[in-house]
Structure 1
Amino acid sequence: MIDLQVTDVRAFLPSQDFELSKQFYTELGCKLEWSDDNLALFNLAGYRFYLQRYYTKEWAENSMLHISVQDAADCHAAIADLLKSGRFPGARVAQPKLEPYGALVTYVWDPVGVLLHLAQWNPA
């Protein structure tokens, strides 16, 4: 077995309107650490991902991030309130759902269809 000596793993997410998607993730609490004209690095609770100025429908609609949260219902309420502004066309949020694997999950679709699983483990 190869030992890659991994120190970090980062996903790449697509955007169709790069500036709009950067604003969306910023509003969700992601900290923009670095950006140029085509790529942005976000930090969320010490975990990082890249947003890029590149879009294909098939890729966007098949990309997902699973994010553990303290309270899926609170996340749903806050995101539903944010989306009422109409500033993020295409973005949507679903009511929290208890999944068979034991997490209460609020599903959020970003402006291009990337699916975020906001999962609360051991819901009361």
Structure 2
Amino acid sequence: MTTPNLTVTDIKSFIGSRDFNASRDFYVALGWQVIYDSDDLRVMELGNHRFYLQRYYDRQWCNNTMLHVAVECVEDWFAFVKNAFTTNNFAGGARHDSEIGDEGYAQTFHVWDPAGVLIHFAQFPTE
């Protein structure tokens, strides 16, 4: 009997978009790159990590979707994101109205994309 190969090579989430192009522009302004682009699906990459941005919107689903982005320096990311919101006029409901806070497990701040997806930027404590 042979042992099955159950190796997982990756896991990616699908993220909805109310306005497909506005969501792309939002994520690109925050540092993601579009590495695949079609009429209804984009692969977005940040730091060798990817998700699928799709041309599909369900308000309840998007408002209950979260991305967690672990970073080395939450202060630098906070400044970068704050600047992106200052220099871009994001469409839809994109907003950045949180400060860096201690969530117990990490220092975090939050951003909402144009479809209402909540993004947590988090720096874990170093040991």
> What TM-score does the superposition give when structure 2 sets the normalisation length?
0.87
Select the residue among 98, 103, 107 that pairs with 1:99: 103
1:3 positional shift: 6.3
Alignment-derived partner of residue 64 in structure 1:
66
Residue 97 of structure 1 contacts residue 105 of structure 1 at CA under 8 Å; is this kept in 2?
yes
Residue 75 of structure 1 contacts residue 106 of structure 1 at CA under 8 Å; is this kept in 2?
no
CA distance in 2, matches of 1:116, 1:4: 30
CA distance in 1, matches of 2:50, 2:74: 21
Kindly indicate whether residue 8 of structure 2 is the aligned counterpart of residue 42 of structure 1: no
CA distance in 2, matches of 1:58, 1:108: 17
- Percent of aligned pairs with the same residue? 40
How many residue pairs align between the two structures? 121
Q: Partner amino acid for 2:102?
A: L
CA distance in 2, matches of 1:69, 1:37: 31
CA distance in 2, matches of 1:44, 1:14: 17
CA RMSD of aligned residues (A): 1.7
CA distance in 2, matches of 1:41, 1:86: 22
The structure 1 segments of at least 4 consecutive aligned residues displaced by more than 4 Å after TM superposition are none
- Uncovered stretches (5+) of structure 1, i.e. residues with no partner: none
From the two aligned structures, give the one with the greater strand fraction: 1
Q: Partner amino acid for 1:97?
A: G
Select the residue among 82, 105, 111 that pairs with 2:114: 111
